[in-house]
Each structure stands twice: as C-alpha cells, then as structure tokens.
Chain A
C-alpha cells in the first residue's frame, strides 16, 4: 500500500517508492542515503508536526515533516 512517509508510525519499516521533490532536495536526500528502493525504519516521530527520525543504513536522519509528506513509501 502506498502512503506518504509522514503518515507512517514509529517502528514502521518501509521502502521508498517515489520522491516528489525538486532537484536540490532530491540531491540532499540522495546524499543522506534516501534513494528510490531504499529501505528504512521510522524510529521516532515528534509531536506538533515536527520532524521524523529515520534509521537508514546505520545512520539516523532527521527529516522535516514537509519533506516527509513528499516521499511516497510502502510498508514492508
């Protein structure tokens, strides 16, 4: 099932299907290891529409909610 990363819950293991972002944001995501088909775990979610904390291949990446809504994932 496709859903935006922002809608995922803590502990969800997901795979990236689409990155609906512009050139710069996409490069920034790629640099942090967030590419198409990347698998990651949502390890933390903060209150008040704050950022998400993602575990991606051994690193922890904080991602703003705005960007997270533009990343389409599926649960695995």
Chain B
C-alpha cells in the first residue's frame, strides 16, 4: 500500500512527511527527469507502507514541471493507494481548490486540515464534520510542526482504508449543465477509443476542458486520428456558447464552490484574531528601505558566522585527522598504498568541507528558509534581478551556491521557465562555493587581508551581474513573470532544520564525495608514476605564457577541476614541496599578483566535476559542456586582466 501526500506549496506537507517518517527510516530522493519527489516507508500495524511526498502544486492545471510531475504521478497511481490531501487550514478557501481537483480522480482519499493553530490565530474556526460531509471523505485536524494529530491521521486512515476503501471515495462535484454535457461528450469519445480505464474519464474530460497541454500530449497515442481534434472542437463549442475561454470556466467554477464550502464550514470571529509580533516583523523586514538594510545585515551575519565557525571547526577536525598516522603506516610506495591514501584523502577532504563549511551553512540557510525569510529576499531583490533579466526567485539558488554548487543547481527547479533555470544555473556555478571559499580565504585572506578576500567576492558579484545581463540579452525574456506566495513567519523547529541540513548534505555526500575520492586517487597516481613533470611542462605554455604563473602550478590547476579546495593545499605541497601558502609567498616563489591571478582563476574556471555531473543531469550534456567551456574562457580573461592590472601597480 502507498500513501501519497498531495497539497499546495507551504501547506506543511513536507513537515507532516518528516514528522511521520522521522529519522528512523531512510528518506530517499528520487529525482525524476527534472523534478524530484521524496519516498519513504513506514510501519503501521506491522505492515510496511510506502509514503510519497509529491512536489507542492497549487493546482493540477499544469504550467511548470513540478506540476506536470505531480499530475503525471496522480494520473498513474497504483490500485493500492490512499491519497492524503493536506490543506492549510488558515487559507482553507484556496486550499480547497486543489481538493476539488483531487476529488475528480475518484480515488480513496482523506483530508488533513493542517496548521489548524494558524487558522485559530486568525480567528477562523472550522467544523471538520461539516467539511467531511461536504467532501464525502474523513477530515483530520493536524498541526504538523508540533506533530499533533499526525499519528492519528495515518493510523486511522490506514484502518479505514483496510476496512472498506470504497467508503473513502469522495463525492462527485457537479458543474453547470453546459460543462457537464461537454464532459459527457468527451467521455464518450474516450470510451469509444477504448482509452485505458485506469484513467478516470471524467478527470480526463475536465483536463481537456482546461486545455491542459500535458494531457493532450498524453493521449496522442491512445486516440485514433482526428479524435483529438474532435475533442478540441467540442471544447471550442462550449467556449462559443458561454462566450468565455473554457480553460477558465472550470477553474472559476471550482473557485466559487471552494469559497462557498469555506463559508459553510467555517466561522470567522474577529475577537479571537490574535495579532502577534510576527505581523509587525514585515514592517521592518519588508520596508522599502529598512528591508535592504536588514537584508545586508543578515547576509553579513551569515557569512561572518560561517567564516568564524569554520576557523574553529577546522582546528577541531584537524585534531582527529588520521592523515599523518596513515601516511606513516602506508608509505605510499606501492600501488595499493597509493590507492588507499588517495581514497582516504578524497574522503577526508569531503568530510572537512562537509563538517566545517557545509553544515554551518546549511543550518543557517535552513533556518532562513523555514522561518519564511527566503521568499522575502526574493521579493526584495526582484527589481535588482530584473536588471539582469531574471526575477527574484533566482536569488534563492544563487544564495545556496555559496555553500555547495551541487544542491544549489538542484534548487533551480523552483524556477518555472527553462530559460530562467538555465541562466540561473550558469550564474550559480560562478558563485564561489565553500570549496572556493577555502581557497579565497586561505590565499587572499591569509596573505593579504580579510577585506581583500571580500574584494574577490565583490568582483564575483559584479561579474555574475554582467554575465547575467549579457545572457539575458542573447536569450530574450519569455518568462511567466514573478508570482510568489509570501508565507507567514514561523519559528523553525530544530528537527526540520536538522532534516533539511542532512538532506542537502546528503546530495553533497552522494554526488561530490565519490568524485573527490576519484580525483585524489588520480592525483596520487600521477605523482606515483612520475607524470607530474610531464604534465606541468605540457601545460606550461598556458600556465606560464597566458596566466603568468610558475609552471609548477599546472597540475594543481588541473586537479582543481576535480577538487577546488585541494588547489590551496597542493599549491604549497605538491607544487613547491612546502608546508603552506605563506611559505611559498615568503620564499618569493609567487608574487602577490600571481597569488591574485591564481585565486581568480580557481574561483571562476571550470566547475568541479560534481557540478558538471549535476549540470548534465539537470540540463543536458551539451549545455553542461557549454557552461564548462564558457567559465574556462571567462576565467582566462579575468586572470589576464588581473595580470595586466598587476603590472600597473
């Protein structure tokens, strides 16, 4: 058996999912073609059941890939499925609009009235029995954030389902006479074409009325020639009769029914409405002026906390690093020793970045996300992002990019248009991730000043802006515009922050760490077989001639493709046989200009292999290669500019 959670964005669906699944079972992410949904399992009355968290959708009228993924999933449910529709009780009227569409599937379902505490705070009280009899299915009240009612929701609906699942079938909504007649005509065509019965004909007929592009593509193969056109002409006929676009007749009908249902089952009592400080928070945080001041302050605090905590954590992690011990046991003089040390190095490198940089970063970001501040950043920066041809939502993946590029690229899925997603992915790859942060802080921060390191960040932001503008010029806008729900503020729960941090960290562990290991092993063998000199001299025309760096750096730059943070350690150890970058600088092996060139080049050139892998997965091979090539060219141009700037001073 399978539970499928369906609900609108911000309804607390994932919170309920996490609260029932907990840490005991492994949450696995199954990315589909482009949009993922989460699946896990749960033990109820000694039965193992699957539970699936679909991406949040406002409706099944599809305009983006997340909605298509959700629609595709609910259209092809297995027979042994119970739909759990989660509603935000504080916006019941709008939430019911999706419920109406789920009801059209005519599948066993239950409804969870989530965030019931939020609704009460707004002075709304809901009669769940009245709602239940209106919908024809059981209704449960829950507060997902505190886990209230969640066990009952799954336990009781499981029992009800096993007793008699027919009883969990919802009522059928009646539309106006003309809509009903049109639906019937379409249903007859579907029947005559013996379209598979697994799809509910009525649901399909309504989708045709809505002119859903996805659904008509779906039926291209199952319908005989000319039948699709026949359906389309029936729909157009309705449009002519009613003088309205059929696509919107159904949705406004549902809107009206939802509103009437809402008025029928709920009571609003102004006296019970509680205004809290949360309502006043936006007077500062979204103030046309104060909003930007607080935003700058918050970002500054986030970075300061990460820099400082990384410093402390690196020392702590350094204490338990078994590296020196392992090097003394495995001398690195046999083939297997080298393999082992390579694996260890890659793994430990990943552990260091993960523990020292990513965990603090993800904790802070998850806090901002759960508190509801991220959408407000999108609001505040929308006009700025418009200047580079994107809109506010693109800011979110780019902010995540300061942690690790891999989950950041995955986060571009929140963008609706493929064009926006492509441009944002390109810009996100350029945002210095924590591995690059290590290089920037370790070279520029350590040798010159903290301010100089910030200068590199500023340079990066400017370049990202220019490039974004350039890309927007060559890919003219055709996006759906900026519409975003701004959720209420919430005090994030520790459990949810831990979950999210773990989830993002896992994307890093699964995709990045194996590649880090591969990179280190390759590097070790290059050294072992004595290829180092050969590679360096092969690269020297480029490294020396174009970039103006010492030839020893060649291999270091090559390795940086695999592991960017390694560039820092290797610059000292592998290239010059010294302990750290300070020694290299003090020995006069590299000038300050060369240090800047090196840092700029490493910051901008070719995304690491893990990023390329995720770009291929999210975009396609060709586009990933374009991005890789373009960043390389960009890095060369900038490095050469730094080189000439160095000559002037």
Contact surface of A with B, Cβ cutoff 8 Å: 21, 23-33, 35-36, 44-51, 53, 57-67
Cα–Cα, bound, A27→B386 (Å): 22
CB contact between B480 and one of A28, A58, A60, A65 (< 8 Å): that residue: A28
Say yes or no: A53 contacts B481, CB within 8 Å: no
Chain A interface SS verdict (over half): mixed
Say yes or no: A57 contacts B91, CB within 8 Å: yes
CB neighbours (8 Å) of B63 from chain A are: 24, 27-28
Say yes or no: A60 contacts B486, CB within 8 Å: yes
Sample 12 A-B pairs with CB under 8 A, ordered by A number.
A26-B248, A27-B63, A28-B63, A31-B58, A32-B485, A44-B288, A47-B288, A50-B382, A53-B286, A60-B486, A64-B386, A64-B481
Given A53-B486, A63-B482, A64-B481, verify A30-B379 contact (CB < 8 Å): no
A48 to chain B, nearest CB (A): 4
Say yes or no: A62 contacts B378, CB within 8 Å: yes
CB neighbours (8 Å) of A21 from chain B are: 481
B13 within 8 Å of A (CB atoms): no
Cα–Cα, bound, A64→B350 (Å): 40
Given A24-B480, A30-B255, A57-B93, verify A62-B58 contact (CB < 8 Å): no
Cα–Cα, bound, A26→B61 (Å): 11
Cα–Cα, bound, A49→B482 (Å): 13
Given contacts A23-B211, A26-B247, A32-B485, 16 further A-B contacts (CB under 8 A): A21-B481, A23-B247, A25-B481, A29-B483, A36-B252, A44-B286, A47-B288, A50-B382, A51-B382, A53-B486, A57-B91, A59-B94, A62-B379, A62-B482, A62-B486, A64-B382
CB neighbours (8 Å) of B383 from chain A are: 46-51, 65
CB neighbours (8 Å) of A57 from chain B are: 91, 93-94
B222 to chain A, nearest CB (A): 24
Say yes or no: A46 contacts B480, CB within 8 Å: no
B67 to chain A, nearest CB (A): 9
Q: Quick one: which of B252, B386, B392 has the most chain A CB within 10 A?
A: B386
Given A44-B286, A48-B383, verify A67-B482 contact (CB < 8 Å): yes
CB contact between B251 and one of A27, A48, A65, A67 (< 8 Å): that residue: A27
CB under 8 Å from chain A, chain B span 89-130: 90-91, 93-94, 97, 122
Say yes or no: B484 contacts A61, CB within 8 Å: yes
CB under 8 Å from chain A, chain B span 340-390: 375, 378-380, 382-384, 386
CB neighbours (8 Å) of A33 from chain B are: 93-94, 255
CB neighbours (8 Å) of B484 from chain A are: 61-62
CB contact between A46 and one of B97, B282, B382, B487 (< 8 Å): that residue: B382
CB contact between A58 and one of B59, B90, B289 (< 8 Å): that residue: B90
B519 to chain A, nearest CB (A): 42
B391 within 8 Å of A (CB atoms): yes
CB neighbours (8 Å) of B282 from chain A are: 44
- How large, as a class, is the contact surface on chain B? 35 or more
Q: Which residue of A lies closest to B383 (CB)?
A: A50
CB neighbours (8 Å) of A66 from chain B are: 481-482
Would you list the 9 A-B pairs with minimal beta carbon distance, nearest first?
Answer: A64-B482, A31-B58, A50-B383, A67-B481, A60-B486, A48-B383, A24-B63, A62-B484, A62-B379
Say yes or no: B211 contacts A61, CB within 8 Å: no
CB contact between A31 and one of B59, B252, B375, B488 (< 8 Å): that residue: B59
Cα–Cα, bound, A38→B59 (Å): 18
Cα–Cα, bound, A67→B477 (Å): 14
Say yes or no: B379 contacts A51, CB within 8 Å: yes
A46 to chain B, nearest CB (A): 5
Q: Which residue of A lies closest to B252 (CB)?
A: A35
Q: Which residue of A lies closest to B119 (CB)?
A: A58
A62 to chain B, nearest CB (A): 5
Cα–Cα, bound, A62→B282 (Å): 13
CB neighbours (8 Å) of A25 from chain B are: 480-481, 483
Cα–Cα, bound, A67→B286 (Å): 20
CB neighbours (8 Å) of B481 from chain A are: 21, 25, 28, 64, 66-67
Q: Quick one: which of A29, A45, A60, A63 has the most chain B CB within 10 A?
A: A60
Say yes or no: B255 contacts A51, CB within 8 Å: no
Interface string of B485-502 (1 = CB under 8 A from A): 111100000000000000
A1 to chain B, nearest CB (A): 25
Cα–Cα, bound, A66→B391 (Å): 11
B292 to chain A, nearest CB (A): 9
Say yes or no: A61 contacts B379, CB within 8 Å: no
CB neighbours (8 Å) of B255 from chain A are: 30, 33, 35
Cα–Cα, bound, A33→B98 (Å): 12
Cα–Cα, bound, A60→B88 (Å): 14
Say yes or no: A32 contacts B483, CB within 8 Å: yes
